[in-house]
């Protein structure tokens, strides 16, 4: 239900943004600032906590798959929308305002942080989403984005992380079956993903 609501918000925000803004009364240009660092903080924190030995959901291998997939989905979606909608920024510097890439990356990282450490401590989730929210607010404060830009960016980041965990879990999950005695056994993964010297390698066992 939560995912459907966020998807609906994306659609509404996109509809609003498609009308564009014809006004040339642009706001003051403030440039980028601390949000350039904040956008990566939640994702970086998820790896630092893992390295520190804090209990989390996934192994290092799974973390790399899920985080990588989340970043690719998030960045790819944001890039396509920016270069399709061409919405002018509030400060008039370019027409790549919709959606907010900084916000998308921040919320993607915050969602990964929540999924990995939310059961260990809810405060870790709160901290991650707080940093992501500050990033979004600062983008608006600096006149780099409109509110609908950051709202859509937040939804993209959240959905990208959710989709990545679902996809990777489906691909790498072990199939559970029962033997002749009724005992549950795990079959070897049909699809395996590994890191090779020249990139990622996928093995499909038939």
Cis peptide upstream of residue 22 (ω within 30 degrees of 0): no
Q: Which two tokens stand for residue 158?
A: 């959240």
d(Cα 169, Cα 89) in Å, to the nearest integer? 38
How many angstroms separate the CA atoms of 115 and 92, rounded? 37
Q: CA 56, 62, 68 angle in degrees (round to 5)?
A: 110
Contact (Cβ atoms closer than 8 angstroms) between residue 103 and residue 73: no
- The pLDDT tens digits of the residues spanning 63-80 come to 999 999 999 999 999 999
Task: Encode 173-188: b = buried (16+ Cβ within 10 Å), e = exposed.
Answer: eeeeeeeeeeeeeeee
pLDDT confidence of residue 117: 96
DSSP state for residue 74 in the 8-state scheme: H
The dihedrals phi and psi of 10, each to the nearest 5 degrees, come to -60, -45
> Exposed e or buried b for every residue in 88-104, given b needs 16+ CB within 10 A?
bbbbbeeebbbbbbbbb
Return the C-alpha torsion angle 151, 152, 154, 158, nearest 10: 140
Q: What is the pLDDT of residue 172?
A: 81
Burial class of residue 157 (count of CB atoms within 10 Å of its CB; 0-12, 13-18, 19+) = buried
User: What's residue 185's pLDDT?
Assistant: 46
The predicted pLDDT at position 33 comes to 82
Q: The whole model's pTM is what?
A: 0.74
Residue 199 confidence (pLDDT): 54
The tens-digit pLDDT sequence of the chain (206 residues) is 555 555 555 555 555 444 444 446 777 877 778 889 999 999 999 999 999 999 999 999 999 999 999 999 999 999 999 999 999 999 899 999 999 999 999 999 999 999 999 999 999 999 999 999 999 999 999 999 999 999 999 999 999 999 999 999 988 875 455 555 555 444 445 445 554 555 555 554 54
Give the DSSP H/E element, type plus range, for residue 192: strand 191-196
């Amino acid at each position: 239900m939560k995912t459907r609501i966020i998807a609906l918000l994306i659609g509404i925000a996109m509809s609003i943004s498609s009308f564009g803004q014809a006004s040339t009364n642009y706001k003051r240009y403030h440039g980028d600032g601390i949000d350039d660092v904040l956008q990566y903080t939640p994702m970086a924190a998820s790896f630092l906590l893992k390295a520190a030995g804090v209990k989390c959901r996934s192994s290092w291998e799974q973390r790399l798959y899920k985080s990588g997939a989340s970043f690719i989905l998030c960045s790819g979606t944001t890039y396509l929308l920016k270069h399709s909608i061409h919405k002018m920024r509030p400060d008039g510097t370019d027409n790549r305002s919709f959606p907010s890439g900084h916000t998308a990356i921040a919320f993607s990282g915050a969602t990964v942080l929540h999924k990995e450490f939310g059961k260990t401590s809810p405060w870790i989730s709160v901290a991650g989403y707080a940093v992501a929210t500050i990033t979004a607010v600062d983008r608006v404060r600096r006149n780099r984005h409109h509110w609908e830009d950051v709202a859509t960016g937040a939804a993209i980041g959240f959905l990208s992380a959710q989709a990545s965990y679902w996809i990777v879990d489906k691909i790498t999950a072990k199939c559970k079956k029962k033997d002749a005695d009724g005992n549950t056994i795990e079959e070897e993964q049909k699809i395996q993903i590994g890191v090779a010297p020249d990139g990622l390698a996928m093995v499909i066992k038939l």
